[in-house]
Chains A and B, each alone.
Chain A
Amino acid sequence: MSIDTTRTSKYFLVCAGGTGMRCLQSFINMCSVGMFAGQTIDVLLLDTDAENKDKKNTENLIQKYSKLMHNNGESKSNKAGEFFSANINLYTFIPDYSKETTKRFTLISEIEKGDPLVNKRLGDLFYEEPVQEFDLSHGYRAQTHLGSYLMYHAFIDEIRKANSNDDYKYSSELYKFVDRIREANNEGEARIFSLGSTFGGTGASSIPVMPIAITDAAKIISGGMVQMDNLFYGASLLSNYFTFPSPSDAHKAKDGIIADAQFFPYNSAAALMYYIKNQTILDTYKRFYILGWGEFNKINTADYKMKISGAKEGKTATGGKKQENPAHILEFMCAFAAKHFFENGKADDLKTISKTEMVFKGIEAMSKGDEKIPVINFDDLVASPKGTSEKGIDDQFKENLYAFMAFSSLLQERYKGRTENFLSDLSTYNSTYSLTEMQIEALDHHCSYFAMRTDTHDGDEINIPGWFPQMWHSLNEAPEGTFLGIDPLVFGKAIHKEDAKWMPKWHKLYTETANDNPFDVFVKRFKKLNGSKNGATYEEFINDIRNTFRSFSEITIDPDENKIKSENLEEQLN
């Protein structure tokens, strides 16, 4: 994809591993619904598993996003602007572990060269034998002690190669990314935020070494001539929040080393201990955002896939083409942590931080029997500074998110995701917009991805919940009002047998559309606000859609009221 080098950025995002990819998807969606309006963010996508489905989905999403982004946003940190108004430059770096000479630690380390016996003894000091021998093409498989070493090595190796060869430099996206950081450092400020898990493989391996790797790489580029004093590092430390069935014995025997979800809590605990005690980490990172799922029920990704596909049994996928987990609210919170890091505190204030600040916040919980249910509100994601008189950023974000969900779902419900057909209907009503084929295709993709898409499974066409409803599923189908105060029907919960499965009912988002014919209400309001247009631009289209939905009154369900109602009902029944 082409990179816009005309806009300078001071925000840099490093997304590593499968969880990092999903956090990045959340970040892209945050930008889709109007955050970072008018600003530019450089994103480095870092993975070791070239075939990871989450990575492919993320790359695809950014490619489509780049066709939809525009420069119409007003650059303000406490403002939710127009859809797709943040500019995102994507850079990808995937250490190549598919070659015969790089697919194992022993091959990369050239253990057979020189004195193999001494080399092996040295290797054995740090790593067990299976760790030295497993195939790296599916990532670091939760072996972070090996992963950190290899990731740093891969980083520095790539920059050295690029620095010594102009052709290689031109093709190396990592080099370009680090060079942009170096430029931003020279201009006075570069904020680099890392997204990834603490319990998996690539993310957990990359986060500890990222500041050192980037700073060293930037020093290599500048020939060590420039002080890297204006680089500020932050990261989200995401502990285990999902699970999957343990791999079978046969699977374990075949792969030797394989990620096992039952060890994720221990991995997380060990990693957190390391993060809070390691002096290098504490010296290099300015801020950590610690995120975890505590006592709440964790989504089992295999169960989720079976529920959606209707299959009777699922297979554990810890990497490769089948690793595609549902979105989770914690990933979305990570994206907002990045926003917080980017926009809070001046560079001079960050310079005064000598030891990593740890940031965390609690979320409300409700009890349902023995189970604890999280109650997620918009101000858990983003909150305005106290004392501001304008409408809070959480409310603005809520309006935008509702609007985007409503639009995406309307497209699915009425047009099977075809924007072109929707535009044709609007044109009948004298509202004609000129969108390029590329924009239409990208919008189709993005809206389907966001709300719902259809797929063929065993010859049947099934609805697959989109990114936003997936978060509701990840909360084990959060009861009414506990997830952002939204009616579960909006996420596709069916109330009648004849209802299409997982079809989002967007009209339940607004008072005006909940009871009347929602399409009539929408077009009436659309025409009233935007009038007739002939040959209007894509930017106008996006803005008109947003304004129309934002003009409706949002329905917010209070989970407490709902709880009282159900308790009263239970009492009456007893």
Chain B
Amino acid sequence: MKKITTLLAILLISSPALLAATSVTVANINSVITEIYMQAGFLGIIFAILTIIIVSTTDYDLVDSRIRKQKDVLKRRIIFFCFLLLLPIFWFFMIGWNFDANACKLIIYNWDPNAQWLGQRLLSAYKVAGTSILSGCFIVFYVLFAWLFAKFSNRYKSWIVIYSNHKIFGQFSLNKKNK
């Protein structure tokens, strides 16, 4: 089941439907930008789910602290932060850079000079807002799904990444007594 879900997620990410080419005009610029935001958001959700699946494959570890420290929570956090860092970088460079390198040339050479601002807005939507939305969605939906999994299906592995030892990331307590 886990393998199928992972495969499905990868297929969705690489789906041409997500990155389908569209002609941008003044009339549809706003909807295209919204689509870009949605694309980023959707990708954030998919990667949040994918991360939850991956962190859930790491086994719980019961081990005497005198022998070595528990490592499973650390492993899950590394996976989470790797995704959190690599995802915007991947988006920024792969999509943004690609756009910059290829699409911008088209904008400069082929576009009506009066419509070049469309290209600039698209570029900004991809590079700045898209990256932020992707990261934001990834974090928000990871936390949301992890909490939902913990609350309603008693699966705690992904939630422990965020909240362990009754502290946020095992470090920051909301309760003054626990500090």
Tell me if A421 and B163 are in contact (CB < 8 A): no
- Smallest beta-carbon distance B67→chain A, Å: 9
A562 located at the interface, meaning its Cβ lies under 8 Å from any Cβ of chain B in the complex? no
Q: How far is the CA of A432 from the CA of B178 in the complex (A)?
A: 12
Number of A-B contacts (CB under 8 A): 61
Q: Using a CB–CB distance below 8 Å, which chain A residues touch chain B? A: 410, 414-416, 418, 421-422, 424-425, 427-430, 432, 517, 519-520, 522-524, 527-529, 531-532, 534
Contacts of A517 in B (CB 8 A): 59
Q: Is the interface of A mostly helix, strand, loop or mixed?
A: helix
Q: Is the interface of B mostly helix, strand, loop or mixed?
A: loop
Tell me if B170 and A428 are in contact (CB < 8 A): yes
Tell me if A528 and B64 are in contact (CB < 8 A): no
Considering the complex, give the chain B residue whose CB is closest to the CB of A526: B60
B101 located at the interface, meaning its Cβ lies under 8 Å from any Cβ of chain A in the complex? no
Contacts of B73 in A (CB 8 A): 428
Contacts of A531 in B (CB 8 A): 154
Interface residues in B134-179 by Cβ distance below 8 A to A read 150, 154-156, 160, 163-166, 170
Tell me if B70 and A428 are in contact (CB < 8 A): yes
Q: How far is the CA of A532 from the CA of B70 in the complex (A)?
A: 18
Q: How far is the CA of A522 from the CA of B59 in the complex (A)?
A: 11
Considering the complex, give the chain A residue whose CB is closest to the CB of B73: A428
Contacting B62 at CB < 8 Å: which of A414, A416, A528, A534?
Answer: A414
B112 located at the interface, meaning its Cβ lies under 8 Å from any Cβ of chain A in the complex? no
Can you list 7 A-B contacts with CB-CB less than 8 angstroms, sorted by A residue number?
Answer: A414-B62, A415-B64, A421-B64, A421-B66, A429-B60, A430-B164, A519-B60
Contacts of A524 in B (CB 8 A): 60
Q: How far is the CA of A429 from the CA of B61 in the complex (A)?
A: 10
Tell me if B163 and A430 are in contact (CB < 8 A): yes
Q: How far is the CA of A495 from the CA of B165 in the complex (A)?
A: 38
Contacts of A520 in B (CB 8 A): 59-61
Which of the listed residues A424, A428, A523, A531 has the most CB atoms from chain B within 10 Å of its own CB? Answer: A428
Considering the complex, give the chain A residue whose CB is closest to the CB of B150: A532
A425-B62, A428-B160, A519-B59 are known; give 15 further A-B pairs, CB within 8 A: A421-B66, A422-B62, A425-B70, A427-B165, A429-B60, A429-B156, A429-B164, A430-B163, A432-B166, A519-B60, A519-B61, A520-B59, A520-B61, A522-B60, A531-B154
Also in contact, A429 and B160, with CB within 8 A (given A519-B59, A520-B59, A531-B154): yes
- Smallest beta-carbon distance A547→chain B, Å: 13
Contacts of A410 in B (CB 8 A): 62
Contacts of B1 in A (CB 8 A): none
Considering the complex, give the chain A residue whose CB is closest to the CB of B163: A430
- Smallest beta-carbon distance A415→chain B, Å: 5
Interface residue tally for chain B (C-beta within 8 Å): 20
- Smallest beta-carbon distance B134→chain A, Å: 29
Q: How far is the CA of A421 from the CA of B65 in the complex (A)?
A: 7
Q: Report the 4 A-B pairs with minimum CB-CB distance, sorted nearest first.
A: A523-B60, A520-B59, A528-B154, A519-B62
- Smallest beta-carbon distance B59→chain A, Å: 4
B63 located at the interface, meaning its Cβ lies under 8 Å from any Cβ of chain A in the complex? yes
Also in contact, A416 and B60, with CB within 8 A (given A429-B156, A429-B164, A528-B154): no
Tell me if A430 and B154 are in contact (CB < 8 A): no
Considering the complex, give the chain B residue whose CB is closest to the CB of A413: B62
- Smallest beta-carbon distance B75→chain A, Å: 13
Contacting A430 at CB < 8 Å: which of B62, B65, B66, B165?
Answer: B165
Q: How far is the CA of A378 from the CA of B73 in the complex (A)?
A: 41
Contacts of A529 in B (CB 8 A): 154
Contacting B154 at CB < 8 Å: which of A416, A424, A527, A534?
Answer: A527
Contacts of B64 in A (CB 8 A): 414-416, 418, 421
Considering the complex, give the chain A residue whose CB is closest to the CB of B156: A527
Q: How far is the CA of A534 from the CA of B166 in the complex (A)?
A: 8
Contacting B63 at CB < 8 Å: which of A425, A427, A432?
Answer: A425
- Smallest beta-carbon distance B158→chain A, Å: 12
Also in contact, A428 and B154, with CB within 8 A (given A410-B62, A519-B59, A519-B61): no
Q: How far is the CA of A427 from the CA of B62 in the complex (A)?
A: 11
Tell me if A414 and B164 are in contact (CB < 8 A): no
Contacts of B63 in A (CB 8 A): 414, 425
- Smallest beta-carbon distance B163→chain A, Å: 7
Also in contact, A430 and B60, with CB within 8 A (given A421-B66, A424-B65, A534-B166): no
Q: How far is the CA of A427 from the CA of B166 in the complex (A)?
A: 8
Tell me if A428 and B156 are in contact (CB < 8 A): no
- Smallest beta-carbon distance A414→chain B, Å: 5
Considering the complex, give the chain B residue whose CB is closest to the CB of A528: B154
- Smallest beta-carbon distance B57→chain A, Å: 10
